[in-house]
A and B are shown apart, each in its own frame.
Chain A
Amino acid sequence: GDSVTQMEGPVTLSEEAFLTINCTYTATGYPSLFWYVQYPGEGLQLLLKATKADDKGSNKGFEATYRKETTSFHLEKGSVQVSDSAVYFCALSEDDYKLSFGAGTTVTVRA
């Protein structure tokens, strides 16, 4: 079945540091890939997505590229801010309803 494996946390960074969160997936077909973010006390929000190989999703300075050859969708940001402190979830979908999520990576950015 479908599964998502993402980098274990927690990750602690200083402001303006480079952030990478690794995500790899297993799927039978050609899934759509997503990154969701959960800020403290809030629900999950869609951060970015990509629907086919070599697509790059981007939002709020974050980027991720759909790499079919390595079955990966790593999240990157060049210069993080304190406001980026959150839990980040990688997810995939192969049908109309079901999102398969990774375990989440907690990121803390210190001033």
Chain B
Amino acid sequence: NAGVTQTPKFRILKIGQSMTLQCTQDMNHNYMYWYRQDPGMGLKLIYYSVGAGITDKGEVPNGYNVSRSTTEDFPLRLELAAPSQTSVYFCASSYSGLAVDNEQFFGPGTRLTVL
């Protein structure tokens, strides 16, 4: 199993551009998550999904959109990129929720810079 894969690894965007961060998992996990990590800060939850067709906002959803058309894929869309979105983005997945003792598995991250 490849686990959770993310593409691209690095990206530089200009202000106002758009892009999609890709996330795929091959573990047949139901739950998927997007986090961002700013320098010197902990990870913050952007969006999560408990299954195909179901998504919900996390702690910092503004400026982002997600979709979940398949179990495997959970892309994160940035519209009108802003310097405040410069961060490292992590995708994660789990079979079920934390309350039933499930571990979240993380991808290696995408480092995004908006200039």
Interface residues of A (CB under 8 A from B): 4, 32, 36, 41-46, 51, 89, 91, 93, 95-104
Q: Among A4, A42, A46, which residue has its beta carbon within 8 angstroms of that of B108? A: A42
CB <8 Å contact, A43 and B106 = yes
Number of A-B contacts (CB under 8 A): 60
CB <8 Å contact, B59 and A104 = no
Question: Which residues of B have CB within 8 Å of A51?
Answer: 101
Question: Which residues of A have CB within 8 Å of B109?
Answer: 43
Q: Is B31 an interface residue (CB 8 A)?
A: yes
Q: In angstroms, how far is the closest chain A Cβ from the Cβ of B108?
A: 5
Q: Is B103 an interface residue (CB 8 A)?
A: yes
Interface with A: B13-21, B42-50, B69-77, B78-86, which one? Answer: B42-50
Chain B interface, >50% SS class: mixed
CB <8 Å contact, A101 and B43 = yes
Q: Among A36, A89, A96, A104, which residue has its beta carbon within 8 angstroms of that of B98? A: A96
Q: Among A32, A36, A44, A97, which residue has its beta carbon within 8 angstroms of that of B31? A: A97
Task: Give chain B's interface residue range (CB within 8 Å of chain A).
Answer: 20 to 34
3 cross-chain pairs, A with B, having the tightest CB-CB distances, nearest first = A101-B42, A96-B97, A43-B106
7 A/B residue pairs, CB under 8 Å, sorted by A:
A43-B108, A45-B105, A46-B103, A96-B97, A96-B100, A97-B58, A101-B43
Question: Which residues of B have CB within 8 Å of A102?
Answer: 42
**In the assembly, what is the distance between CA of A36 and CA of B37, in Å?**
14
